[in-house]
Amino acid sequence: MLFATTGGQGHFRPMVPLARAVADSGHEVRVAAPASFAEHVATTGLRHEPFDDADPVALGAVFAALPSLSREEANARVMTEVFGRLDPVAALPAVTGLLAAWRPDVVVREPAEVASLVAAEAAGVPHVQVAIGLCSLIRTFVDELTGPLAELAAREGVEADLAAAAAAEPVFTSVPPSFDDDREGDGVAPVRYRIPGPRTQAPPLPAWGDPDAPLVYVSFGTVAAAQGVFDSTYSAAVDALAGVEARALVTVGAHGDPEAWAPWPPNVRVERWWPQEAVMPLAAAMVGHGGFGTTTLALGAGVPQVVVPLFASDQWINARRVAEVRAGLAVESGPGLVARLGDAVRAVLHEPRYRSAARGMAEEMGRLPAPRAVVEDLLAHAR
């Protein structure tokens, strides 16, 4: 099986348990991912098949324009220009060559990675999808990418309707039913599985602040810090947490510079990266951007969260659902974020209803089948 992903931990992490379960069952697994993502694939022990990264200058231009756009316009811009054009155009030569040379029996992709969809349809290889959000996000991707997919089909000489093919894909998801929403109109029930705990021992946290104070973990994902346009969000988080009776660990991603926010308040520590699995069991609350990986990791650990969506529709969808199920609060970014964020963090730390709801969600996720239990469902799609 070929698992295909874009270069984001929130996109790749839900695929890893399935890929490992397939490999542990004796089948050959490879991971098609950007060359820059090699380190993350290597940690899984799976074989990496690299493809080219999108042009960083073109990506930077897309993200630089987002603050001047409405939420709807910004989301459409990211989906169509990044996921629909820049990423697949860079990836297609290597992915197409891999399918021709290796001929996998099944392609397993996530909805933002469409080069493998194009290549699979061209080669007649069955393909399925691993969700990176609620089921409604599948329809959002299809709607936004219909135009770019038609362009890619014409460019590659693919006669199939790629948008229809994406909409019809079988779906595997780690989202629990009570947090999910229904796929509209197609009647296809997703196959659900749980994301297990880490396989390796996580490193201990560094020492800072009051060790007896509650820990707040802050992550806005792997994309925001790389673009530079969201620096004010990190600054607001640091300033807000300086006034909260807690210690905070803020991670800014491989492309961020912790020194940009130095000197930090005594109760705050800024790192490029720290294993989320090491932090979450110790955290009393989390602040995130609504990315799928961090949101579901907090839910699975029973940690209440404050969600500050930044640039993609799934972030607002996830933020809304977190608030609706009372596992945390949603906070709008922009002017006045410092005060809003500080108040929200205090609320999820001290009001028991948020932790109670988060723990209930964790219990539901823990009852989902293990990844090995759904391997046969994946194998059923082999050509």
The helix (run of H) or strand (run of E) holding residue 251 is strand 247-251
For 272-328, the pLDDT digits (tens) are 888 887 889 899 999 999 988 889 989 999 999 999 998 777 888 999 999 999 999
Domains parsed from the chain with CATH numbers: 2-194+368-379 (3.40.50.2000), 215-366 (3.40.50.2000)
CA dihedral 339, 244, 227, 133 (to 10 degrees): -90
- pLDDT at position 199, please? 60
Query: If you average pLDDT over each of 160-164, 293-297, 314-318, 333-337, which comes out highest?
Result: 160-164
- pLDDT at position 184, please? 45
Length of the chain, in residues = 383
Q: 115-123 and 87-102 are packed helices; what angle lies between their axes, rounded to 10 degrees?
A: 40
Confidence at 202, pLDDT banded by 50, 70, 90:
low
The separation between CA 190 and the C-alpha centre of its own chain, rounded to angstroms, equals: 18
Terminal-to-terminal C-alpha distance of the chain: 11
| Six-digit token string for 135 | 């089921």
Confidence at 231, pLDDT banded by 50, 70, 90:
confident
- pLDDT at position 185, please? 45
Confidence at 226, pLDDT banded by 50, 70, 90:
low
- Read off the pLDDT of each residue in 239-266 and give the average, rounded to a whole number: 88
pTM of the predicted protein model: 0.84
Distance CA 265, CA 249 (A): 11
- Read off the pLDDT of each residue in 69-83 and give the average, rounded to a whole number: 88
The more confident residue out of 187 and 216 is 216
For 80-126, the pLDDT digits (tens) are 999 999 999 999 999 999 999 999 999 999 999 999 999 999 999 99
Distance CA 290, CA 294 (A): 7
| Mean pLDDT estimate for the chain | 91
